[in-house]
Amino acid sequence: MIIEEAFGQSKKFTLENKNGVEVTVLNYGGIIQSILTPDQNGLLADITLGFDQFEDYLKGHPYFGAIIGRYGNRIEGGRFELDGKIYKLATNSNGNHLHGGEQGFDKKFWHSEVENEKLILTYRSPHMEEGYPGNLDVKVSYELNDENALILTYEAATDQATPISLTNHAYFNLAGSGDVLEHRLMINASYITPVNRYIIPLGHLQEVADTPFDFRSMKAIGQDIDSPDEQLEFGGGYDHNFVLDQPGIQYLAAKVLEPQSGRVLEVHTDEPGIQLYTGNWLEGHYNGKFQQNYGKRTGFCLETQHFPDSPNQSNFPSVIIKPGELFRSQTIYKFGVRSVDQ
């Protein structure tokens, strides 16, 4: 069931399933405004960061729950070359391009419709918006099934070659409040793409073995987050792209367990990478839902994606879509509670 309501200048859509799980999405920015899931005792809590009032989303925020595009993550220097031409993008992060620029997809009002128990959002990004070539038609659908899986499907088509990497920037806290350092995390990745001090990939892969980035077996997010490691110093904690060993919806990309509530989050994706961000720069600047002050590391992100700066990195998987091609990507966030052996 999907319920539509007004929410300030936006529309709010609440997706509900038979188990009492609820996901609320705005047509402004495609923002996932809330996710209500039960703990091991059946008690519901909102497990994603955001705001109670629409106006707070207009004041500026770190992409809480939003669709990110045209290009998720960073592009060095806000420039790339395509078919012999240099394109210059907005530089909104230390001289680099971040998350689609000054007015990315997170700040757009999307056309909305409900079809077959799916919320479908569409947007046309015009030629040269934020510096990107081509008119890009984007469709993002949200579906919540009775297996407690939130299925995000991204599609796009263009009339001119252009880079694209779409994701969602939900911040999760499976406890509903407090920091996330005791959450236990597994990421099915043997490598990361190491970065410089501006979080731009260096162009090669780095093994996670014997480093703080080894999440191949579950461990607390906070276990190694303050270790003396140059990569952690650059990010202020984890803010890195993990190279998935087995991309594909049928494989488990990441899994998180919150020990006190017993809540579990599983992530499946056909994207080659996943960005772990541990809310290192929240620093209490945002007063969120239920009068919570979002301080440092009170949320984590698992942003499914192509690798950052791929338009400038020929050895990374291509992010170029051409006329006549259909970009399609899918990510599943599945919510549950711990099993006996966890």
Beta strands in 39-115 (DSSP E): 44-46, 67-68, 74-75, 79-82, 85-88, 97-98, 111-115
What phi, psi does 234 have (nearest 5°)?
Answer: -60, -40
Query: Which residues contact residue 93 at a Cβ distance below 8 angstroms, ignoring those fewer than 6 apart?
Result: 74, 198
Contact between 136 and 319 under an 8 Å Cβ cutoff? The reply is no
Domain chopping of the chain, boundaries:
2-337
Tokens matching residue 218 = 């579950």
Characterize 107-126 residue by residue with b for buried, 16 or more Cβ atoms within 10 angstroms of its Cβ, and e for exposed: bbebebeeeeeebbbebebe
Position 262 scores a pLDDT of 97
Tokens matching residue 32 = 């996932």
DSSP symbol at 14: E
% pLDDT > 70, the chain: 99
**Residue 303 known to be catalytic:** yes
Please tell me the distance from the alpha carbon of residue 39 to that of residue 313, in angstroms, as a whole number: 43
> What are the distances in angstroms from CA 126 to CA 104, 140, 148, 237, 312?
12, 17, 36, 36, 23
pLDDT in tens, 74-112: 999 999 999 999 999 999 999 999 999 999 999 999 999
Q: What is the mean pLDDT of residues 242-251?
A: 97
Query: For residue 128, is pLDDT > 90?
Result: yes
Query: For residue 341, is pLDDT > 70?
Result: no
Confidence label for 342 from pLDDT (cuts 50, 70 and 90):
low
Position 120 scores a pLDDT of 98
What phi, psi does 8 have (nearest 5°)?
Answer: 60, -130
Query: For residue 340, is pLDDT > 60?
Result: no
Please tell me the distance from the alpha carbon of residue 144 to that of residue 267, in angstroms, as a whole number: 14
Closest C-alpha to 47, from 337, 340, 341, 342: 337
What phi, psi does 323 have (nearest 5°)?
Answer: -55, 140
Query: For residue 227, is pLDDT > 90?
Result: yes
Tokens matching residue 327 = 């970009």
Task: Spot the catalytic one: 61, 97, 99, 169.
Answer: 169
Task: Spot the catalytic one: 22, 130, 143, 303.
Answer: 303
**Residue 117 known to be catalytic:** no
Task: For domain 2-337, give the fold.
Answer: Beta-galactosidase; Chain A, domain 5 (2.70.98)
pTM of this structure: 0.97
Beta strands in 188-298 (DSSP E): 189-192, 206-207, 219-220, 239-244, 254-257, 263-269, 273-277, 286-287, 293-294
Residue with tokens 């093994």: 207
